[in-house]
Amino acid sequence: MAVLVGKKAPSFKTTAVVNGGEMVEDFSLDQYLGKKYVIFYFYPADFTFVCPTEILAFERKMTEFDKRNVAVVGCSVDSKFSHWKYLQTEVNDGGIKGVKHPLLADQSKTIAENYDVLAGEYEYDDDGKISFEGTPRAYRGLFLIDKAGIVRHQVINDMPLGRSIEEALRLVDALQYFEKYGEVCPADWHPGEDAMKETQEGVAEYLSNH
């Protein structure tokens, strides 16, 4: 798996469905540079089982992400038409109606490949013919990208394992606290708790008090 932390987030342009049903061409995360943090997450497929629990959970926390100046953007290898249908389908019928944050279409699978979350890979045989080995879907990748476009956190879950949206918020809080105060955040840190100076003395002081 590629480690993108500390590197510029791979750039792309693709079709997205935004505001619950509006199709937008040439959607890019570059629009947030210098303006917003980004939680960019991948999910395996529309109309599956774990995926709607995550997508709806992100949407329910959108007020919290907005408070932190964070854009939340989802992506799968489905088409824009599949996304649109998914967004128009009632939750009780297996859809995600009510979700407003952008869902990106990655039918070419190049975005998933560039973020190294594609479950499988293309291979060539001796005759030069290309085939895909594996499941042509994305793992549950999540990337926290700062306002400069640098990846500051990534986590990749296998398809059966749903993510914690609360943990995504906690990591945003930790990053923003560090940027504001210059102190680093220890294990399981939450806003309002002690952080520490990035020195041996700072660590010793923190550990002596906890």
Distance CA 21, CA 91 (A): 15
In contact, 14 and 104? CB cutoff 8 Å: yes
DSSP secondary structure string, 111-169? HHHHTT-EEEEEEE-TTS-EEEEEEEEE-EEEEEE-TTSBEEEEEEE-TT----HHHHH
Q: CA 79: distance to chain centroid? A: 18
Distance CA 124, CA 105 (A): 25
Distance CA 160, CA 140 (A): 9
Residue 54's closest CA among 152, 144, 154, 142? Answer: 142
In contact, 138 and 75? CB cutoff 8 Å: yes
- Catalytic-residue membership of 185: no
Distance CA 200, CA 203 (A): 5
**Which among 29, 39, 51, 104 is annotated as catalytic?**
51
Residues with active-site annotation: 51
